[in-house]
Chain A
Amino acid sequence: MKNFILGFLAALVLLVAGPFLYLRLGAADVNADVQAPGWLSRLTSFAVHASVARNAPDTPSSTSHTDADLIAGGTLYMDGCAGCHGRFGRPPRKRVYFTSPPEFAHVGTQYSEPQVIWIIKHGIRRSGMSPYGYNEKQLSSLAGFIKRMKDLPPPVVAALQPKKP
Chain B
Amino acid sequence: MKNFLAGALCAIALVAIVLAAYLGLGFMEVAADAKPSACEAALMTPSVHAAVRRQAPAMQNPLPDADATRIAGGKLYMDDCVGCHGGPGQPPSAFGLSFYPPAPQFAHAGSQYTEAQLFWVARHGIRMSGMFPQPHYSDSDLWSLVSFISHIRNLPPAVVKAVQASN
- Residues on A facing B (Cβ under 8 Å): 1-12, 15, 20, 23-33, 36, 43, 46-55, 96-99, 121-131
Chain A to chain B contacts (Cβ below 8 Å), 30 pairs? A3-B3, A3-B4, A7-B6, A8-B10, A10-B7, A11-B8, A12-B15, A15-B12, A23-B47, A29-B127, A30-B127, A31-B55, A31-B126, A32-B124, A32-B127, A46-B23, A47-B23, A47-B26, A48-B28, A49-B26, A52-B30, A97-B132, A97-B133, A122-B31, A122-B33, A123-B98, A125-B34, A125-B100, A126-B128, A128-B132
Are the CB atoms of A29 and B11 closer together than 8 Å? no
Contacts of B25 in A (CB 8 A): 50, 54
* B109 on interface, CB distance cutoff 8 Å: no
Are the CB atoms of A3 and B1 closer together than 8 Å? yes
Contacts of B15 in A (CB 8 A): 12, 15
How many residue pairs between the two chains, A and B, have CB atoms under 8 Å in the bound complex? 181
Residue picked from A8, A29, A52, most chain B C-beta under 10 Å:
A8
Are the CB atoms of A54 and B27 closer together than 8 Å? yes
Nearest CB of chain A from residue B13's CB, rounded to whole Å = 10
User: Whose C-beta in chain A lies nearest to the C-beta of B53?
Assistant: A26
User: Whose C-beta in chain A lies nearest to the C-beta of B98?
Assistant: A130
Cβ-neighbour of B26 out of A12, A31, A50, A131 (below 8 A): A50
Are the CB atoms of A31 and B6 closer together than 8 Å? no
Are the CB atoms of B32 and A32 closer together than 8 Å? no
Cβ-neighbour of B24 out of A1, A25, A50, A123 (below 8 A): A50
Are the CB atoms of A29 and B55 closer together than 8 Å? yes
In the bound complex, CA of A122 to CA of B30 (Å): 8
In the bound complex, CA of A53 to CA of B6 (Å): 37
User: Whose C-beta in chain A lies nearest to the C-beta of B130?
Assistant: A128
Question: Contacts A1-B3, A30-B55, A131-B33: A9 and B130 contacting too (C-beta < 8 A)?
Answer: no
Contacts of B6 in A (CB 8 A): 4, 7
How big is the B interface, by class?
A: 35 or more
In the bound complex, CA of A127 to CA of B98 (Å): 12
Contacts of A127 in B (CB 8 A): 32, 128-130
In the bound complex, CA of A33 to CA of B120 (Å): 11
Question: Contacts A8-B11, A52-B26: A33 and B31 contacting too (C-beta < 8 A)?
Answer: no
Contacts of A53 in B (CB 8 A): 26
Cβ-neighbour of A9 out of B9, B11, B28, B128 (below 8 A): B11
Contacts of A47 in B (CB 8 A): 23-24, 26, 28
In the bound complex, CA of A6 to CA of B7 (Å): 7
In the bound complex, CA of A125 to CA of B7 (Å): 36
Cβ-neighbour of B32 out of A5, A30, A46, A131 (below 8 A): A131
